[in-house]
Amino acid sequence: DLIDEKNEDLVLEAINLLILRRIITSTYSLHLHQNKGKFKNLNLEKK
């Protein structure tokens, strides 16, 4: 029983890490897109 509980905890931890990673990467890519848009606007203003 103890082994099963430990395995369940590990599985839950792995799932949480995957979800966290997915959230972080999605928000990070959003920030990158926003920054790219800002840079494009700056370049247009310079021209």
Model pTM above 0.85: no
Nearest to 32 by CA among 40, 44, 43: 40
The average pLDDT across 2-21 equals: 91
Residue 42 has pLDDT above 70, yes or no: no
* pLDDT at 12 (0 to 100): 95
Q: How far apart are CA 42 and CA 15, in angstroms?
A: 41
Examine the pLDDT at 47 and tell me if it is beyond 60. Answer: no
Please write the tens of the pLDDT for every residue from 19-37: 999 999 998 888 887 777 7
* E-assigned strand segments in the chain: none
Provide φ and ψ at 2, rounded to 5°.
-60, -45
